[in-house]
């Protein structure tokens, strides 16, 4: 068993993620150089116009016109080629960024709910990657790389006539001021719109998850109204942000058109006074338009820029929050004991302590039934034993090694977990049982299914083990899902098997098979911890724990805790709850 070591593939992903900034800077240098070539070639139109109007028309030389036109065409081809190369680099960099960060985002989407985040919040990192990749594939990055080259066109206009250069510079300053205004006006609105969208999507996710209950209880319309109210908040904020961006973009385009017309008029005035040629007038118009175009495009894409910046910040923080890989010590898989030492567990969502000062120990071959009233802390105990929730204090140890020191990729060989709500993975029954293992022919799949008493049921399905379970396993009945989930927990013969209400959806035959499963685990030297809500399960265990009000009220051999015929008193009904009182009575 390895101690204190993240999975090797995760270490590689983390290292790659930390190199994103350096990779971006390396690409930025190359893109800046390509953008310089593109912008120099963009002077082709201005110079061509000057030569045609000032040289060709005055000389009347057709050969000169053909030569200049061929040269301009070749330069335009190069210009288009370099723009295509720049776009392809950005698109490929976006895809590479996605490949490097998607594993991290997916891991966070799996881990964040255990810390109290909604599924929608957990999926935000994945959406941030999509936003960033989409931004890199748009025209906005090209405009950003063109911005540093704006002075090239301003200098060109200044060389043609200082006054026209000053007017163009003034127009660039005004557009830059509009960019600042866009930043100030849009930043808060964009963030508010994003937060409102997350809240709306969280409500939509909750409605979809509870669809059966909403339909059965006639609450669909009220649920839709609640969603619509949050959607209205999102739309109002998003509309205000869009209005600001659209207004500033319209003003920017209007100023550009006024400026170009004004430059043409001024150029004509200076031409009449003999201060510049007709060709220079056209060249000024083309060059000034090119000088202002990147600023105008940045303003037009400002919302995309803000979205990409927020996405980058979210991903940067996610990368920074990842733990440094620790040193490792290879240890054998546990075979001796499961020990809980003074464990206190709080809700990740609220911080409220749900379980306090719990201590007990189980040896290989033992089975523990956890009973107690609803809300007493039984499922909290199971999540902590499974390593899903981290204790505030204390520890869970297998053969003296804390679960906190066991890397995730090794946990499946030690812990088998059937949660209270069984949601199967999207895929086949085989993929669910073997937990996406690449070894289809593994005998362990059959052993797990047979031990769970589900092999015959699976074999009777039209596609057998290749049957698709549908979203969250909805293609199967509740009982079938529970038994497939049990087989998944048993895959690989884990040392500790945790079963949270495993018989909730089982019939009598299923409960009998469950008891036989517990016996098989005990016989092979494993440990079973089962939350019991029905009395039949108590027959298969030798230890009982009573969890009440977040504390371990009783722990010990089954007959001693429940009270046997030799005189040990049963716990009162208010200790274990009505349902568990009936279970205790039936077990006696």
Asked whether residue 233 carries a pLDDT value surpassing 70, the answer given is yes
Model confidence over 534-551: pLDDT tens digits? 778 888 899 999 999 999
User: For residues 195 and 202, what is the distance between their CA atoms, to the nearest angstrom?
Assistant: 11
User: For residues 403 and 411, what is the distance between their CA atoms, to the nearest angstrom?
Assistant: 8
Mean pLDDT across the stretch 393-399? Answer: 92
Model confidence over 332-357: pLDDT tens digits? 888 899 999 999 999 887 888 999 99
Asked whether residue 150 carries a pLDDT value surpassing 60, the answer given is yes
Mean pLDDT across the stretch 369-391? Answer: 90
Between the CA atoms of 517, 522, 527 and 531, what dihedral angle is there, to the nearest 10 degrees? 40
Asked whether residue 19 carries a pLDDT value surpassing 80, the answer given is no
pLDDT value of position 511: 81
Mean pLDDT across the stretch 463-476? Answer: 81
Confidence band of 587 (pLDDT split at 50, 70, 90): very low
- For 137, 357, 360, 361, 385, the CA distances from 340, given in Å and listed in that order, are 52, 9, 5, 6, 8
Mean pLDDT across the stretch 39-58? Answer: 89
User: For residues 66 and 25, what is the distance between their CA atoms, to the nearest angstrom?
Assistant: 43
pLDDT value of position 509: 77
Task: Please state the pTM of the whole predicted model.
Answer: 0.68
Confidence band of 18 (pLDDT split at 50, 70, 90): low
Residue 499: which of 417, 436, 586 has the closest Cα? Answer: 417
Model confidence over 86-109: pLDDT tens digits? 999 999 888 888 888 888 888 777
Mean pLDDT across the stretch 155-162? Answer: 91
Percent of the chain at pLDDT > 70 equals 89
- For 30, 554, 558, 588, the CA distances from 567, given in Å and listed in that order, are 85, 17, 14, 12
The mean predicted confidence, pLDDT, of the chain is 82
Structural domains in the chain, sorted by start: 2-320 (1.20.1560.10), 337-587 (3.40.50.300)
Is there a contact between 157 and 47 (Cβ–Cβ < 8 Å)?
no
Percent of the chain at pLDDT > 90 equals 23
Q: Which residues, in sequence order, are CB contacts of 409 under 8 Å at separation 6+?
A: 7
Confidence band of 119 (pLDDT split at 50, 70, 90): confident
């Amino acid at each position: 068993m390895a101690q204190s070591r993240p999975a090797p593939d995760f270490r590689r992903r983390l290292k790659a993620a930390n190199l994103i900034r350096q990779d971006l800077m390396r690409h930025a240098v190359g893109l800046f150089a390509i953008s310089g070539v593109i912008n120099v070639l963009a002077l082709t139109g201005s110079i061509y116009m000057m030569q045609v109007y000032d040289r060709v028309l005055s000389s009347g030389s057709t050969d000169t016109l053909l030569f200049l036109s061929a040269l301009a065409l070749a330069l335009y081809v190069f210009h288009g080629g370099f723009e295509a190369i720049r776009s392809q680099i950005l698109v490929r960099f976006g895809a590479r960024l996605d490949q490097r960060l998607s594993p991290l985002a997916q891991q966070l989407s799996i881990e964040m709910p255990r810390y109290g985040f909604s599924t929608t919040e957990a999926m935000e990192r994945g959406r941030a990657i999509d936003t960033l990749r989409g931004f890199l594939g748009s025209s906005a990055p090209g405009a950003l790389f063109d911005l540093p080259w704006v002075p090239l066109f301003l200098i060109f206009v200044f060389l043609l006539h200082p006054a026209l250069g000053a007017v163009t510079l003034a127009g660039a300053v005004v557009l830059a001021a509009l960019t600042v205004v866009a930043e100030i006006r849009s930043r808060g609105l964009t963030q508010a719109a994003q937060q409102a969208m997350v809240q709306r999507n969280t409500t939509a996710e909750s409605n979809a998850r509870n669809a059966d209950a909403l339909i059965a209880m006639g609450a669909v319309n009220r649920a839709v109204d609640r969603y619509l109210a949050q959607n209205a908040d999102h739309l109002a904020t998003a509309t205000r942000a869009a209005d600001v961006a659209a207004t500033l973009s319209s003003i920017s385009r209007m100023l550009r058109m006024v400026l170009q017309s004004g430059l043409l008029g001024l150029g004509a005035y200076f031409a009449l006074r003999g201060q510049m040629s007709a060709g220079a007038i056209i060249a000024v118009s083309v060059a000034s338009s090119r000088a202002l175009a990147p600023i105008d495009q940045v303003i037009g894409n400002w919302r995309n820029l803000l979205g990409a910046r927020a996405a980058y910040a979210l991903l940067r923080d996610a990368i920074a929050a990842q733990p440094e890989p620790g040193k490792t010590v290879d240890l054998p898989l546990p075979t001796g004991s499961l020990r809980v030492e003074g464990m206190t567990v709080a809700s990740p969502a609220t911080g409220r302590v749900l379980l306090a000062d719990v201590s007990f120990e189980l040896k290989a071959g033992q089975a523990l039934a956890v009973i107690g009233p609803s809300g007493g802390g039984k499922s909290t105990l199971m999540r902590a034993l499974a390593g899903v929730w981290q204790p505030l204090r204390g520890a869970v140890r297998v053969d003296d090694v804390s679960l906190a020191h066991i890397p995730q990729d090794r946990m499946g060989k030690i812990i088998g977990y059937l949660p209270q709500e069984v949601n199967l993975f999207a895929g086949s029954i085989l993929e669910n049982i073997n937990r996406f293992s690449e070894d289809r022919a593994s005998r362990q799949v059959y052993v797990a299914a047979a031990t769970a008493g589900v092999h015959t049921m699976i074999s009777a399905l039209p596609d057998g083990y290749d049957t698709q379970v549908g979203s969250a396993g909805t293609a199967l009945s509740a009982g079938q899902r529970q038994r497939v989930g049990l087989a998944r927990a048993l895959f690989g013969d884990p040392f500790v098997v945790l079963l949270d209400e495993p018989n909730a959806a089982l019939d009598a035959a299923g409960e009998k098979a469950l008891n036989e499963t517990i016996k098989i685990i005990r016989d092979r030297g494993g440990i079973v911890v089962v939350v019991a809500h029905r009395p039949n399960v108590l027959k298969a265990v030798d230890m009982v724990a009573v969890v009440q009000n977040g504390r371990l009220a009783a722990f010990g051999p089954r007959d001693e805790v429940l009270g046997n015929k030799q005189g040990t008193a049963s716990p009162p009904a208010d200790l274990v709850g009505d349902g568990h009182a009936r279970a205790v009575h039936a077990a006696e």
